[in-house]
Amino acid sequence: MTRLAGTVSLLALVAALGAGTALADTKDKKIALSNNYAGNSWRQAMLRSWDKVTKPAVEAGIVAAADPFTTAENQVTEQAAQIQNLVLQGYNAIVLNAASPDALNGAVKEACDAGVTVVSFDGIVTEPCAWRIAVDFKQMGKDEVLYLKDKIPAGGNVLEIRGLAGVFVDDEISKGIHEGVAENPQFKIVGSVHGDWDQAKAQAAVAGILPSLPDDIVAVVTQGGDGYGAAQAFKAAGRKMPTIIMGNRQDELAWWKEQKDANGYETMSVSIAPGVSTLAFWVAQQILDGKEVPKDLVVPFLRIDQGTLEKSLETTEKGGVANVEYSAEDAQKVVDAAKK
């Protein structure tokens, strides 16, 4: 995928949109981002990517506005009210990272009935009138176990760190992990905690459960934003360091490299790129422009392996997340692939 530069000329954006696209069709359209949570590095990177791509698009006159809104708490009722307010404020499209896959369906349906385009991503919704952009989170979780199968063929005890309870992403990744373990019974999940995709919370949760777990934990399966915290908890407890699946955060990658250089530590890292918000923006713009876009779009997750660690770390800002932003041309390729 290509990165969209911070300063983009109108001509470059016109070219990125491809032949036959009429910018005049969306120059007076307003797009809003409804985000349910901003309390970790992934969400902060997601919001930065949104600004990085949408501000030049607004300046170039492609859309009239692309404003981000984040609720104070990860609460369905609060985000539902936010969606209703965005409709009343006259936004033509809402790009939505949802607190729940189904509890927001009523508010989403109301928005659709009012003529507002709703494009959900990452935390997607099941309301049929909305569009959905997601990676195969279930497969992502399963791939963690498949990696462990190759690295630790004898199996062993595994600790699972989950994300935000009740969110689609958390449920799907966990399903994939458990499906992978069911197919590879040499592994056994002996404990599960919620780290909320946050290093500090994950560290506290792991520290709290470790005393009740067997001594021989061979691996920790995660969802992102929790690997470094898990490592610190194991270190503080004086426990043998297991294979911890990472989630593309810079502090995770930096710790991994330190351990790799010191003792050959091996693992892998996987997550959805925070810049998927920019793909959702361009998809919403294309829908407003009258383009035919399938309701379900799938993008690959971003995986880092032992051989690509150093390169990935070099391009990840301190305190950030390994990332990629999407251009309008990238969005068109994703749409075309879905049509096929």
Q: How many CB atoms lie within 10 A of CB 261?
A: 10
pTM of this prediction?
0.83
DSSP code for 316: S
Q: List the chain pLDDT tens, one digit each, 340 residues.
A: 443 333 334 444 444 444 344 444 899 999 999 999 898 889 999 999 999 999 999 999 999 999 999 998 889 999 999 999 999 999 999 999 999 999 999 999 999 999 999 999 999 999 999 999 988 999 999 999 999 999 999 999 999 999 988 888 899 999 999 999 999 999 999 999 999 999 999 999 999 999 999 999 999 999 988 999 999 999 999 999 999 999 999 999 999 999 999 999 999 999 999 999 999 999 999 999 999 999 999 998 999 999 999 999 999 999 899 999 999 999 999 999 999 8
SS3 (DSSP) at 132 = strand
CA neighbor of 66 nearest in space, from 322, 288, 317? 288
Region(s) of the chain under CATH 3.40.50.2300: 10-135+273-300+317-339, 137-271
The sign of the torsion formed by the CA atoms of 57, 59, 64, 69 equals positive
Of all helices (H) and strands (E), which one includes residue 71?
none
- Answer yes or no: CATH 3.40.50.720 is held by domain 10-135+273-300+317-339: no
Contacts for 252-259 with beta carbons within 8 Å, 24 or more apart? 252/227, 252/228, 253/304, 253/309, 253/312, 253/313, 253/316, 253/322, 254/313, 255/227, 255/228, 255/231, 256/227, 256/309, 257/309, 257/310, 257/313
d(Cα 10, Cα 285) in Å, to the nearest integer? 15
Q: How many CB atoms lie within 10 A of CB 335?
A: 19
SS3 (DSSP) at 28 = coil
| Rg from Cα positions in the chain | 21
Q: Which two tokens stand for residue 210?
A: 């470790």
Q: Let me know how many helices (H) and strands (E) the chain has, helices first.
A: 12, 12
**Mutual orientation of helices 168-183 and 137-151 as an angle, nearest 10°?**
40
137-271: CATH topology: Rossmann fold (3.40.50)
